[in-house]
Amino acid sequence: MTAITSYLAPQTLEEATSLVAAEKTILFAGGTDLLPRWTKGLTSRPEAVADLKRIAALKGVSRVNGEIRVGACTSLSDIATDATIRAAVPVLAEAAGRVACPQVRNRATIGGNLCNASPAADTAVPLILLDAVLECASSGPDGIAARQMPITDFFRGPGSTTLTHGEILTHIRFEPPPDGTFAAWDKFGTRRAMEISIASVGVALRLDAGKIVHARVGYGSVAPTPLRGHKAEAVLLDDPLSPQVIDACVAAARDEIEPITDVRAGAAFRREMIGALLRRMLERARSDR
């Protein structure tokens, strides 16, 4: 076990990017994923940590040109209670508000939730529904090199993202869904609080003249990464939200996920839960029309 020898608290993004260019420094946000992992000895402690929480630019929710932009270091409790988010994207507020408990939400950041790249990261699915764009920064020849990517390009596998070493996720950006969009998200666990999702699912739909003109489906905890449900979406698009379409969509969803069996649940059960939760959402969408 190594021990951390230095704790760094950069005040600006420039400082942070140049610090983490160093081989042995890792980024530290809320620490709610990192600290338990160190304690359990799942990963050894790094030599140095760069705490991002003192960088004001990485915090808070703003509206820019009609888009909503969330700083990567915004805590999940701030997201859950933010007026803009609650009004425009209640599914994201709900997902953030159902992570763990107040203590953890006060520390955990949305950036950490994504960069930790757990298949069970609860904020990932709502962001998939929103076609969120992730903005990243790294130390470049003229200061900061910026890059952005759609969220679906971000996850590579459990615990792994397409960020390169030294790259910092700075913001998450998305357009609030237009009026008339139905959106829902739910997670399944065996307790009513303090649950890592056994399965989670979200859906966003828009109908025009009785036909589905926009559909997004996302899944959590049922594949190596949070997953967009392309097949389920394809079933929905251009069709009415009929019982037959709902059946077909549920079947497609069950088919396109790749759950595993672990200590929390079996693969078959996870499939069942995705089906059951998705069906309920679609039926609610149907009755909400």
Partner 1 sequence: MPEVIDKAKLAFTVNGEQVRTEVAPHATLLEVLRDNFELTGTKYGCGEGECGACSVLLDGKLVNSCLVLALECAGSQVLTIEGLRINGQLHRIQQAFVEHGAIQCGFCTPGMIMATYALLQANPAPTEAEIRRGLEGNLCRCTGYRKIIDAVLSLAHGGAREPDLANREQRTPGQTLIGQRIPKLDAPDKATGLTRYIEDINLPRMLHGKILFANRPHARIVNIDTSAAEAMPGVRAVITATDIELVPFGYGQDNTALKRDKVMCVRDEVAAVAAETPEIAAEAVRCIRVTYEDLPVVTSPEEALADGAPVIHAKVPDNTPFHYDYSHGDVEQGIRESDVIVEDTYRLQRQAHCCLGTSGIIAHFDADGRLTLHSLTQVPFLYKHDLARIIGLPPEKIRVIQPTIGGGFGSKLDIHPFEPICVFLARKAGRPVRLVFSREEEFLATPTRQPMIIHLRSGAKKDGTFTFRDVRMTLDNGGRTSWGATTPWISMRTFSSLYRVPHVRQHVDVIYTNNIYACAFRGYGNPQATFALESQVDQLATELGMDPLKLRLKNSQDPGETTPQGMVLSTCGLKECLETAAHDAGWQEKRNRQPAVNRQPLIGNRQSAVARGLGMASLFHVGGGAKIYRSDGCGTIIKLDDFGGITVLTGSSEIGQGSETVIAQIVAQELGLPLANVRVINNDTELTPWDVGVHASRTTFIAGNSALRAAREARRKLLDTAATRLKRDPEELDLVDGNVVERSSAKPLESIGKIIRGLHFGRTKNELIMTTSFYEPPSVTPNEQHMGNISPCYAFGTHVAEVEVDLETGVVKVLRISAAHDVGRVINRLGIEGQVEGGIAQGMGYCLTEDLKVADGRVLNPSFTDYKLCTTTDMPELSLSFVETHDPAGPHGAKGVGESPMIPVAAAIANAVYNATGVRMTELPLTPERVLAKLKASRGANGEPANG
Ligand X SMILES: Cc1cc2nc3c(=O)[nH]c(=O)nc-3n(C[C@H](O)[C@H](O)[C@H](O)COP(=O)(O)OP(=O)(O)OC[C@H]3O[C@@H](n4cnc5c(N)ncnc54)[C@H](O)[C@@H]3O)c2cc1C
In angstroms, the CA 61 to CA 186 distance is 23
In angstroms, the CA 226 to CA 214 distance is 20
- Of ligand X, partner 1, none, which one does residue 190 interact with (CB within 5 to 8 Å by kind)? partner 1
Q: Is 166 in the site for ligand X (CB under 6 A)?
A: no
Q: In terms of CB distance, is 195 or 272 closer to ligand X?
A: 195
* Helix (H) or strand (E) segment spanning residue 46: none
Q: Are 203 and 274 in contact (CB under 8 A)?
A: no
Give the burial string for 40-71 (b: 16+ CB within 10 Å, else e): eeeeebbebbbbbbebeebbebeeeeeebbbb
Q: Is 19 in the site for ligand X (CB under 6 A)?
A: no
Q: Is 226 in the site for ligand X (CB under 6 A)?
A: no
| Contact range with ligand X by CB under 6 A, out of 80-88, 119-127, 147-155, 277-285 | 119-127
Q: Which of residues 234-273 bind partner 1 (CB under 8 A)?
A: 243, 250, 254, 263-266, 269, 271-273
In angstroms, the CA 263 to CA 98 distance is 21
In DSSP notation, 119-175 reads TT-TTHHHHHHTT-EEEEEEEETTEEEEEEEEGGGTEEETTEESPPTT-EEEEEEEP
- Of ligand X, partner 1, none, which one does residue 26 interact with (CB within 5 to 8 Å by kind)? ligand X
Q: In terms of CB distance, is 18 or 106 closer to partner 1?
A: 106
- Of ligand X, partner 1, none, which one does residue 79 interact with (CB within 5 to 8 Å by kind)? none
> Where along the sequence are the contacts to partner 1 (CB under 8 A)?
1-7, 9, 28, 30-32, 35-36, 38-40, 45, 49, 51, 53, 77, 100-104, 106-107, 188, 190-194, 196, 243, 250, 254, 263-266, 269, 271-273, 275-277, 279-280, 283
